[in-house]
Amino acid sequence: MDYRNLYEEWLSNEYFDQATRDELLSIKDDENEIKERFYTELEFGTAGLRGVIGAGLNRMNIYTVRKATQGLANYILKVGKAEKGVAIAYDSRRMSPEFADEAALCLGANGIKAYVFESLRPTPELSYAVRKLGCIAGINITASHNPPEYNGYKVYWEDGAQITPPHDTGIMAEVKAVTDFNTVKTMDKQAAVAAGLYQVIGAEIDDAYIAELKKQVKNPEAIKAMGKELKIVYTPLHGTGNIPARRVLKEIGFENVYVVPEQELPDGEFPTVSYPNPEAAEAFTLALALAKEKDADLVLATDPDADRLGVYVKDTKSGEYITLTGNMSGCLLAEYEISQIKEKQGLPSDGALIKTIVTSNLADAIASHYNIRLIEVLTGFKFIGQQILNFETTGKGTYLFGFEESYGCLIGTHARDKDAIVATMALCEAAAYYRTQGKTLWDAMIDMYEKYGYYKDAVKSITLKGIEGLAKIQEIMETLRNNTPEQIGSYKVLSARDYKKDTVRNMETGEVTSTGLPSSNVLYYDLPDNAWLCVRPSGTEPKIKLYYGVKGTSLEDAEKKSDELGEMVEALIK
């Protein structure tokens, strides 16, 4: 059925409510909009669903959410784990509570109990709740840091991580098999509650989660000494982080936490930012103004679902606030956490630092220094969670720290996803610890560069929206795949990795070996002097992403090399 017929079907089918049909009628004269909404289904991929909210097959709405949940329910029934139930959380976005209820009532109609948070909660708490409650799966309604017109639907498995093989492909197949909306089950909410299929959860999980976070404190005496002095500015960017971040900081002893008032309360319109992403400088405008007013030592921002943490630190020599990229804050925390484990109890012989393939090579240097194993995984924190599960099931391997360049890390194993609440706590603790030595976090960063080398990593994202954009992204990837560059600007390509073909080609000898990782549409080029480039389509946004890194002899040298490589990289895909 072509897109026009599908559009007419939605207009005439009484299964879809009047509001949905009215919205579709309002675009009856806009052929391109009709095509965008119906030319394809909103794809249920390995990260679940993510898309623009609205009526239509290629949009986030109660019907596409129900359909995805019916597929998930079918898979749970197939593996015989319905009695374990499913935990459901949601963020501050438009329609998030409604989508959470639609998912819960579809599960209930399939005889699967839903544990639904009473109000918005961070992503890492949902990950924690899945394991705490012994659920078979979890659903989180969030579009993370996307613009306000988006929402999403992430699925977690019983280990608390987002779905990985074989469950991801199994669930995707079941969702795809649901071809008739009329076969999707739902039920009345009151009936679901009465039948014990819908249970509200809240404070008991909050308390247990915060208790787990507090176990990760390495230097309580440093917090006791500096908790009254250190000044912290924090913004939840209208999202889920406000209550848990403030709570944990208060309970461990930080007294001067200033929250940006304009961004404190949940608001799915994100009125103070165009893009609620702590990677974006714009997100910090209000926080930095407050920091200057309060003379704060560090400035922190969590994204709407509180799995990513953005950071600015004060350089007392210049008086300026300096932004830390996700690579920088991740490496700073890795160095702090691993050094403190070594000092307090000694490092285990099977200790591991885990990073994604697009994350800084500075992590490799840290792992080498501490003589611990470095494990590299595909992009997506679920692959870090998969490694933690493997450690637990085999009894081999001890998780010390894991992070990815996109501002996400996990300290401890209470969750199996990025946790910006525990990262907020740990970064404040690290600031207190270094302050007892007369240092700022920026001083600690420079110390680390002097110790390991001045690594600098960057990413360029090129947005290509719509059908044409998707085709262009695929064209770029295939052109590079079929024509491996021997030179990128002034850099000779030493080896080329194609994670889709599972090949690593030595460009000098022609020898081909395996990547050792699952298939993924990613290309990676190793360059001389610790430089590198990686190209991949975004899994959640209409973008192609170009990651690259260099190693310099100073901040200035690294900056110069990074800028030069950045220009070469852009030229490569034009």
Q: What's the whole-number mean pLDDT along residues 521-543?
A: 91
Residue 373's pLDDT band (cuts 50, 70, 90) = very high
CB contact set of 316 (below 8 Å; sequence gap of 6+):
440, 442
Q: What is the pLDDT of residues 214-269, one digit of tens each?
A: 999 999 999 999 999 999 999 999 999 999 999 999 999 999 999 999 999 999 99
Q: What's the whole-number mean pLDDT along residues 510-519?
A: 95
Q: What is the pLDDT of residue 560?
A: 96
Average pLDDT, the chain: 95
Q: What is the pLDDT of residues 417-429, one digit of tens each?
A: 999 999 999 999 9
Q: What is the pLDDT of residues 311-335, one digit of tens each?
A: 999 999 999 999 999 999 999 999 9
Q: What is the pLDDT of residue 526?
A: 97
Burial of 407 from C-beta contacts in 10 A (0-12 / 13-18 / 19+) = buried
Alpha-carbon distance values, 314 to 49, 166, 311, 324, 500 (Å): 39, 46, 10, 11, 42
Q: Is residue 145 scored above 90 in pLDDT? A: no
Q: Is 368 in the active site?
A: no
Q: What's the whole-number mean pLDDT along residues 349-367?
A: 97
DSSP 346-396: ---TTEEEEEETTS-THHHHHHHHTT-EEEEE-SSHHHHHHHHHHHHHHS-
Check 144, 329, 360, 495 and give the catalytic one: 144
Alpha-carbon distance values, 25 to 7, 182, 463, 500, 546 (Å): 10, 21, 30, 42, 40
Q: What is the pLDDT of residue 203?
A: 98
> What torsion, rounded to 10 degrees, do the Cα atoms 502, 506, 507, 512 define?
-50
Q: Is residue 85 scored above 90 in pLDDT? A: yes
Q: What's the whole-number mean pLDDT along residues 46-57?
A: 92
Q: What is the pLDDT of residue 465?
A: 82
Q: What's the whole-number mean pLDDT along residues 520-540?
A: 92
Q: Is residue 565 scored above 70 in pLDDT? A: yes
Q: What is the pLDDT of residue 540?
A: 67
Q: What sign has the CA pseudo-torsion 391, 392, 396, 399? A: positive
Q: What is the pLDDT of residue 525?
A: 97
Task: Give the integer Cα–Cα distance in Å for 298 and 234.
Answer: 9
